[in-house]
Structure 1
């Protein structure tokens, strides 16, 4: 099926309007930036926390809450209102439908990551590496969010379906330093791997120290794409 750039652009404009109207998604998307502001101000008041730890926490929040849950909620909202069926009947293909949502969320997630980096104040020389590796993980998490949205019947159910995702991708990396088993699990996750990569780069460690983590990030992009394609083929947009 031919992909229409014009229709994708129109869908992106529609998603921006839906984003503004959907207060739940808007609030979720603002949380990482709010966290960064609070963390920096807490540091000024004497609650000293390493900047890289602030950034890693904010990044994890953005990857799980914004990249993952926002797109799942937007897809579930369309299914709940049956507007997706209307779009498909009006010649918008399912691929265009998903791209229209994904591109906007990816762009918003990347911008949020950059804003947090600047707020926290890490050396600007590393921002290029940060954007590259964090964006690759954003791609993975958006695809996972797409899967959650496809298998959820409405916005309410995305929370239930997404709880295991929140536990695995947000909680386990936070607790990795407390338990060897949790750390071994965390090392298999893309969002924890990007933290290792960034920590190694900023602290001047060689590339050999995070080759494994780069491989994990790349493999997860492929795995997420396969799972998304399989889920879409099984459920479509109208089930």
Structure 2
């Protein structure tokens, strides 16, 4: 009951993760802040839809259609589609019209719709056609490599490739890790120490803004409302 979610990592530098889910007896969920954007497909009552879901700068409540199936590709940070600037998709989405069970319409071209097990092949084709690109400077900076650019230039590159600042990405990634640790039963004081929060109020404010749950709520075995996908990096 609720949301049954399955996900897997990817060996593609353009993909962070691939996931699929099915809804049952749930009408709303808490969408956790994320710095990544997704290409999402879903089917509900025989109708197939797709959209590009932008990064989310804070938590929000989202409706969930009953008895629907979903499939999504989470793109790695620094990967973007120039014809759909990611900075215009923050806390929003762009519907892909003309999607069917077999195809999806992207940048004026019909593409065979990807599946859970062949997402990498689909993305490789998008990269070859220049529909998906990756900023190597942003990717390297996120891995801790010296950027060799001025801070202003680097921030412009981050804004173009991710829609967010480097600091916002770091805050979102840290609180997502905090939420995972708390869900696994780690005491809040240990989370504070491991992730470098100042104190418990600092952690509490971050959880409220980015996750939409308190530390106590994250530790509950049967939450009233499901959370969007959280995973270990």
* TM-score tier (shorter): under 0.3
Q: Which has the higher helix share?
A: 1
Structure 2 length as normaliser, TM-score?
Answer: 0.27
Structure 1 length as normaliser, TM-score?
Answer: 0.26
Q: Which has the higher strand share?
A: 2
